[in-house]
Chains A and B, each alone.
Chain A
Amino acid sequence: MNELLKVEDLVVRYGGMTAVDGMSMSIRAGEVLALVGESGCGKSSTARAVVGMERPAEGTVLFRGTAVPPLGLRRRRTEFTAIQMVFQDPNSSLNPRKRVGEQIADGVRAAQARGLNSARPDSWLEAVGLQPEMTTRYPHQFSGGQRQRIAIARALAAKPDLIVADEPISALDASSQASVAAMMRRLCLEAGAGMLFISHDLSVVRLMADRVMVMYRGSVVESGPTPLVWSEPVHPYTEALLGAIPHPDGRGVLPAAPAAEAPEEWASTLPEALSRQVETR
């Protein structure tokens, strides 16, 4: 088993508030795992713990069998540059004062430090659908959507084994969201990497995640292969979540609305909803 990431019984607390309440997961090379759920359900806190931006209160986060060290002010240990992140706001990961080519070159150097070859910055720009000669420009000379493509190029240039993407497409225009998500999946799989993809947009998740974990109030309530969870949700929260998606089919059908804002059954634990498998006969 080519297991990249193993998270066991992770608990993340902020003061007295428990954001993640004992979640476990694993990601293999060449697979996209999506975390979905409402805002505040703990999906972003899980991602931050995976990359070392939050210190777990309990539980472990292992990357290739080694605990992920907390991110500090100092440079990351070389072997952990194999985990790369993409955030919702590309401005948070791009330096406004540096040409984008140089920033992508930083990623290339991170790959080289681990003894890997990476392509040149201009070909990374091409890979994410931008013109190669744009390397000499600064971030402010690009649109928001282009900046996010650059952030993705920079992350990929480091030749990561694991990409952690927290709402990477939410700030993009609706018409480019699906294509950027598909591009991320393609480039990630071509590189043989794994991806933890966090999104509140369930239609996009259906498009690109091999497996999905549905979180509610800090816990995973349902998990399994995306097509199975989509077609036959078992947990009442998953059912409500999927039923509430409005579809652009022009039929004027209101999506199903839950009777109450947060029915108690949503927080219930159903063992049969966890780690679901497609039945083979």
Chain B
Amino acid sequence: MTTMLTLENLTVELGPKDARRQVVRGVSLNLQAGRIQGLAGESGSGKTVTAMAVLGLLPASARVTGSARLGEVDLTSLRPRELNRIRGRRVAMVFQDPSASLHPQITIGAQLTDHLRHHLGLKRKAAQRQAMELLARVKVPHPQEALSRFPHQFSGGQRQRIAIAIALACDPEVLLADEPTTALDVTVQAGILHLLRELVDERDLAVLLVTHDLGVMSAVADDVAVMRDGRVVESGTRAQMFTDPQHPYTRQLLEAMPDAQESEVL
């Protein structure tokens, strides 16, 4: 296994100087090529802040200690300009709301080709060809026509596919996905989960999947870490976490799932 991203004792403090709060407290994780590392936990557990810290997307007042090493570079010690070169190029991201990563007034084609030309220095023609191939790969119907359309002309599921296409445009090593299917209908979610799994397998991507949904976690994650109050309380392979949880909090989460309970109706 090849380790692509290593978080070591990552700690994040947020808030003004006189009222700092530790929201991530010493998180250590290894993301491996070709594997999906799930990060589970309830709202406020620090899972999203962990992902944001890796990308340097936290407010300037945030204090990050520990390290997030991508190969030889520690992302937490980079200056904004250096980080910009890595973000989107070597580490990409997908959010819950695809509208957050798509510009509403620019065509899909322009957004994809801008990205390709900026990061990879492709010529216009080559960028356009690659943009179409990407859209075809994420199974956006009629990719050629899709290039000249605007985000609002697509369904929520297709918008998320487009956001994934943009994230993968520069062939990143690491993908951070924060609740990528939470806003989608369950049938649409199933399609996105299939796509994510396929892309990880064929591109050897290392993925950090942040989700509160243990069903989603069980479907696609290879490894799972459970966070609570800023700490990883338990981590292991998917099978271990779901069938033989060790920490009482993990057990409590699993037992609270509707699937674990007998129907009152039956």
Contact = CB atoms under 8 A, between A and B. Distances in A.
Interface string A173-192: 11111110110011000000
Contacts of B82: none
Contacts of B187: 38, 240-241, 244, 257-258
Contact of A251 (B155, B191, B218): B218
A249 B265 contact: no
Interface stretch (A22-30, A75-83, A105-113, A207-215): A207-215
A99 interface: no
A200 B215 contact: no
Interface in A240-257: 240-241, 243-257
Interface string B243-266: 100000000111011111101111
B219 A253 contact: yes
B185 A245 contact: no
B265 A209 contact: yes
B86 interface: no
B84 interface: no
Interface residues of A, number: 45
Contacts of A200: 185-186
Given A250-B239, A258-B191, A174 B214 contact: yes
Contact of B188 (A32, A247, A261): A261
B7 to A, nearest CB: 23
Given A250-B241, A255-B193, A206 B263 contact: yes
Interface of B: 42-43, 141, 155, 157-158, 185-191, 193-194, 197, 212-222, 238-239, 241-243, 252-254, 256-261, 263-266
A-B pairs, 9 with minimum CB distance? A250-B242, A246-B215, A203-B258, A38-B185, A257-B190, A248-B214, A244-B190, A246-B219, A175-B256
Interface of A: 32, 38-39, 173-179, 181-182, 185-186, 200-204, 206-210, 226-227, 240-241, 243-258, 261
